Structure 1
């Protein structure tokens, strides 16, 4: 995992800072997510019915499952900030589910840093444009604008910011 300093973050704005490894969205993962969220709609968990009745030709991952994989994708490829004591999800300005993720396909995340602003004594607010690619598909599964906070000890704040 690549590591960078707090002072380097603003200079990365406008660049793709990482592309994650592929993650397999298999039926087992989809079923576990359905159990965790109590969302057992047939298009996710009933392979025979989904094949016969849905326009997708089989089961698909929940959109929120795809969204939830962003944390793992981020951890996999976005540089770790050396001074960070913790990371916090702040939220999303926009999430769009563009294409279904069919069971048994792989997805990966692309992260472009669009903003990095120091806020308060020990916080750096970061904004990423994220796209989740489906292997061998042109259209992404999902796009989002994701806001996170890098928490750090105020004594580590770079001079002049």
Structure 2
């Protein structure tokens, strides 16, 4: 899998309405879920208690926090595209984002990203990416929606 190199606003704009790429799969481990729980102080049993989840959860397994899945977007995005000649990138927002299907522990997820739109706002480029987080072997995705990045290109 090769990373798409984007050097300028115009090169980014060429992807408008198209899939930019797909990341590698990433396995979500119980250890990772536990570390996220500690970092966010969200220790709900559905994420951490394997025995209880097997008995009481409709998923029969622990599941990743939805926000853990969301927080992996930058890591997965870096596997798809490298935006160069950029002084700064800022996570600007999330729109119409839905958690469609829980990510069970030890599942593998990947990101598919398309460029919905990009506009130049007096030197700052606002890119709206439509993203889908897929679960390996599942028909329904874990999540989908739009994420917005602001870029300041040097050229």
- The question of a shared fold, defined as TM-score above 0.5 by the shorter chain, is answered with yes
- What residue ranges of structure 2 are gaps of 5+ in the alignment? none
Q: Does 2:151 match 1:146?
A: no
* Cα shift at 1:91: 0.4
Q: Does 2:107 match 1:105?
A: yes
Return the match for 2:44 from 41, 44, 59. 41
Return the match for 1:26 from 26, 29, 52. 29
Return the match for 1:93 from 89, 92, 95. 95
* Cα shift at 1:36: 0.4
Q: Highest CA radius of gyration, 1 or 2?
A: 1
Alpha-carbon deviations, 1:51-92, whole Å to 9, x = none?
A: 1100001100000000001010101112x2221122110001
The whole-number CA distance in structure 1 between the counterparts of 2:83 and 2:105 is: 34
**Aligned pairs for 1:2-21 within 5 A:** 2-6=4-8, 7-21=10-24
Contact 1:116 1:124 (C-alpha < 8 Å) held by counterparts: yes
Report what 2:64 is aligned to: 61
Give aligned pairs, total. Answer: 152
| TM-score (ref. length: structure 2) | 0.94
Contact 1:129 1:146 (C-alpha < 8 Å) held by counterparts: yes
| TM-score (ref. length: structure 1) | 0.91
The whole-number CA distance in structure 2 between the counterparts of 1:81 and 1:59 is: 36
The whole-number CA distance in structure 1 between the counterparts of 2:5 and 2:99 is: 31
- What residue ranges of structure 1 are gaps of 5+ in the alignment? 157-161
- In the TM superposition, structure 1's runs of 4+ consecutive aligned residues that sit over 4 Å from their partners are none
